[in-house]
């Protein structure tokens, strides 16, 4: 079928999947007591005093499916409850903390993808030689390192001893300036805003603070990508069309990159879905270790404080993001591999 039809079909599938996500979150909600559940509906701590009123208003004493309806309605209206750990409604907290995480992902993702693919291809082409062994060992090590430990080690070395790359998002001076009326926050992404405001020193400061978390995040996930890229490339190199391409007299470079790699990238695309999961998981730990105030930090902090609406709001957000990115990946996949379009 046409690519267009495939895209439309995938989009239609999106709705039941998203509903499934909400159902699961709702199921988790049911594990809490009614009083705790009530916290999910208030936007303001003062409302908490009127507990019976809340229960009545959101039908918390009625059967499960009724509750689901009212809960979903509130969610779609943007009411995800109140996050006591940061003293603001959950939705506001998300909007507040998300840009920081986006900034982190913005710098990590391209690095991960490019490095991962490049190293994986290299390891496959030079199989069983030095490059291959080195890459594989580094990848296994990267995969076995506890993420928080890596972060701590990096902090100890580059901050504790060398003092060049500090934690958190900005230094004190830059922080103050950024929050002052002189600085217009267009995107809340510090590096971009700094450039837009023409404040180069803030841009550099933000970059310095980003180095460690980005490195930490990259190392873990690259390890995974390299391994998968390598095995998929090895498989592709063994295929008949590679032999046929060589028999046609093509340059080895064309054989590898045009034929083998193109096919090898296919499973890597599906792995990108896992990449996203890795990111969403990785930011929780990485942001916590570096005190980098993004949504990962907020979620982890909230969990320790038993701030239920925050944790659930984060889970819901993560689920939705994941589903959407998988959709995009699937469409890209269909764009590259025409066999998939047959449905």
- Residues in 221-250 at the binding interface with another protein, rule: CB under 8 A: 227, 234-235, 238-241, 243-250
- Report CA-CA distances (Å) from 131 to 134, 225, 226: 5, 16, 13
Quick one: 88 or 323, whose CB is closer to another protein? 323
Four-residue CA torsion sign, 317, 320, 325, 328: negative
> What residues between 24 and 83 interact with another protein by CB under 8 A?
24-25, 28, 31-32
Q: Which of 86, 212, 219, 318 binds another protein (CB under 8 A)?
A: 318
- Dihedral sign computed on CA atoms, order 92, 93, 94, 99: positive
295 sits near another protein (criterion: CB under 8 A): no
Min dist. Cβ of residue 203 to another protein (A): 26
Closest CA to 229 of 257, 266, 256: 266
Distance CA 131, CA 331 (A): 34
Burial 169-197 (b: 16+ CB within 10 A, else e): bbbeebeebbeeeebeeeebbbbbbbeeb
Q: Per CB under 8 A, which of residues 255..294 are in contact with another protein?
A: 258-259, 262-263, 276-278, 280-281, 284-285, 288-289
User: Taking CB under 8 A as the criterion, which residues in 72-131 touch another protein?
Assistant: none
Q: Considering the complex, state which of residue 120 and residue 191 has its C-beta at the smaller distance from another protein.
A: 120
Residues 193-212 interacting with another protein (rule: CB under 8 A): none
- Shortest reach from residue 239's CB to another protein, in Å: 7
Rounded CA gap, 198 and 326, in Å? 37
**Residue 342 C-beta: closest distance to another protein, Å:** 8
Of the candidate residues 106, 122, 134, 145, the single one contacting another protein (CB under 8 A): 145
From candidates 93, 119, 121, 155, binder to another protein by CB under 8 A: 155
How far apart CA 339 and CA 60 sit, in angstroms, is 49
**Pick 194 or 236: Cβ nearer another protein:** 236
């Amino acid at each position: 079928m046409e690519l267009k039809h495939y895209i439309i079909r995938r989009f239609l599938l999106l709705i039941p999947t998203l509903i499934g996500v909400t159902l699961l979150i709702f199921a988790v909600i049911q594990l809490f007591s009614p009083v705790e559940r009530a916290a999910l509906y208030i936007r303001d701590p003062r409302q908490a005093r009127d507990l019976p009123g809340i229960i009545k208003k959101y039908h918390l004493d009625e059967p499960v499916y009724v509750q689901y309806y009212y809960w979903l309605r509130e969610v779609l209206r943007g009411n995800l409850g109140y996050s006591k750990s940061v003293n603001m409604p959950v939705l506001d907290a998300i909007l507040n903390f998300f840009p920081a995480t986006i900034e982190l992902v913005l710098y990590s993702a391209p690095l991960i993808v490019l490095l991962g693919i490049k190293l994986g291809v290299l390891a496959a082409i030079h199989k069983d030689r030095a490059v291959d062994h080195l890459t594989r060992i580094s990848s296994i090590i990267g995969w076995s390192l506890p993420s928080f430990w890596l972060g701590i080690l990096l902090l100890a070395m580059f901050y504790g001893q060398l003092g060049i790359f500090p934690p958190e998002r900005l230094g004190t001076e830059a922080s103050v300036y950024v929050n002052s009326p002189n600085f217009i926050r267009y995107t809340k992404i510090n590096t971009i805003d700094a450039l837009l405001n023409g404040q180069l020193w803030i841009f550099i400061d933000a970059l310095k603070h980003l180095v460690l978390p980005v490195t930490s995040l990259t190392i873990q996930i690259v390890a995974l990508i390299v391994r998968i890229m390598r095995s998929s490339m090895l498989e592709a190199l063994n295929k008949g069309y590679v032999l046929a391409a060589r028999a046609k007299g093509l340059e080895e470079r064309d054989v590898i990159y045009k034929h083998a790699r193109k096919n090898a990238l296919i499973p890597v695309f599906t792995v990108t879905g896992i990449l996203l999961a890795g990111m969403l998981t990785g930011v929780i730990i990485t942001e916590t270790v570096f005190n980098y105030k993004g949504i990962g930090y907020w979620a982890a902090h909230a969990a320790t404080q038993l701030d239920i609406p925050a944790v659930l709001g984060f889970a819901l957000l993560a689920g939705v993001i994941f589903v959407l990115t998988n959709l995009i990946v699937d469409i890209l996949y269909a764009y590259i591999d025409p066999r998939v379009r047959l449905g």
